[in-house]
Amino acid sequence: MAKSLPKFCEGFTIPSKEFEPVYLETYRSGRIWEKVERAQEMLRDCCICPRRCHANRWENKLGTCAVGRYAEISSYGPHLGEEDCLRGWRGSGTIFFARCNLLCVFCQNFSISHTAVEREKATPEKLARIMLYLQSIGCHNINFVTPSHVVPQIVEALPIAIEGGLRIPLVYNTSAYDSLEALELMDGLVDIYMPDFKFWDEQKSKRYLRVPNYPEVARQAIKEMHRQVGFLTFDENGVALRGVLIRHLVMPNCLDDTREILRWLATELGQDTYVNIMEQYYPAGLVNRERYPEINRRITDEEYRRAIAFAREFGLWRLDYRWRRVLIWW
């Protein structure tokens, strides 16, 4: 039954009966097999992410991400902690991939992304079965978490899942440190892109992410994501179906970055861009008083108020919300 929708849904809804995941047309056209072939080629000389390690991952040679032929999975299941428009009432079907191509010192999933613990390796058939399982238990979408380094493995698994009956949207949940080559592979497969635009400043990117070119890569990647899928749209129940959802984690002493990122989103993508300005940062990973003391605290209410004020200053109005934020916002 349809419910009263938030204002940010107005003008951006599609009746669910009229929606079809974009990957189905790509499959029917036969183009998906070209993507599978290209994905396998990329594994043999890895330039999947902007690090361009050129490792032969097809033969289990390892680059920065330390993942070889098959993706490694940390966990999977319905996730009720995502944005309301993703989790709905039955959860977002998250697949947490182990390891990462970005090495954030404050990583809040440090044990998953940075440690050398051996994880379950997923063949294409195994990954397809996981997708179909998540659909079978009612998840609203398949949410690939930290997928940038395993794009070829996702592409390989998708035709198998489609042939098994997969029919729900795919969410690409990323740090935005993605190559244009990888995003070209995902064009026509992904319905919802969810990049986290972390920093605007190159020096902060070098210090906290260990890659100074992050800001330029993220800008190029997010513009390409928006070109592919446009502004975020919803069904009649407010569940996201297609488009870009930008996340930005507000960091201590980094409001200059927040302001520039929000300005860029409004001017380059448009004021109708859907943005989740997140306040849940806490010291994690390698952050402590001796190392990275300037980010060794949570943000203040005032820092979050200023972040919201920046969004309003630039005309961004489709802001994700949580009830715990209401007093801060208003």
Q: Count the alpha carbons within 13 Å of 55 in the hemisphere toward its beta carbon.
A: 18
At 235, list the tokens.
């069904």
Residue 58 lies in a domain: yes
pLDDT of residue 169: 98
CA distances to 32, 33, 54, 100 from 185, rounded to whole Å, are 9, 11, 18, 19
Tokens 């050398």 correspond to 116
Taking residue 112's Cβ as centre, other Cβ atoms within 10 Å add up to 21
* Distance separating alpha carbons of residues 91 and 144, to the nearest angstrom: 14
CB-CB contact of 57 with 46 (8 Å): yes
Residue 4 resides in a domain: no
Domain tally for the chain? 1
Phi, psi of 144, deg, nearest 5: -85, 110
Count the residues in the chain: 330
162, 26, 225, 89 alpha-carbon torsion, rounded to 10° = -30
Confirm whether 16 is domain-assigned: no
Which residue type does 189 have?
L
pLDDT tens column, 89-105:
999 999 999 999 998 99
Considering the domain boundaries, does residue 17 fall inside one? no
Low-confidence residues of the chain: pLDDT under 70? 1-3, 116-117, 322-330
pLDDT of residue 113: 76
Is 241 domain-assigned? yes
Task: Say if 65 falls within a structural domain.
Answer: yes
Q: Does residue 8 sit within a domain? A: no
Measured CA to CA, the distance from residue 101 to residue 147 in angstroms comes to 9
In the chain the beta strands, taken as DSSP E runs, fall at: 71-79, 92-97, 120-122, 142-145, 170-174, 192-195, 233-234, 240-249, 274-278, 318-319
Q: Do the bridges between strand 92-97 and strand 142-145 make them parallel or antiparallel, or are there none, so unpaired?
A: parallel
Which pLDDT belongs to residue 324? 44
**CB of 170 closer than 8 Å to CB of 150:** no
Domain that holds residue 287: 30-329
CA angle 91, 92, 93 (to 5 degrees): 110
In this predicted structure, what is the pLDDT of residue 1?
39
In a domain, 23, yes or no: no
The beta strands (E) that lie in 146-252 are given as 170-174, 192-195, 233-234, 240-249
Report d(CA 330, CA 321) in Å as an integer: 12
Q: What is the pLDDT of residues 48-70, one digit of tens each?
A: 999 999 999 999 999 999 999 99
Q: With 0.85 as the threshold, say if the pTM is over it.
A: yes
CATH number, domain containing residue 242: 3.20.20.70
* pLDDT score, position 114: 73
pLDDT at residue 323, rounded to an integer: 47
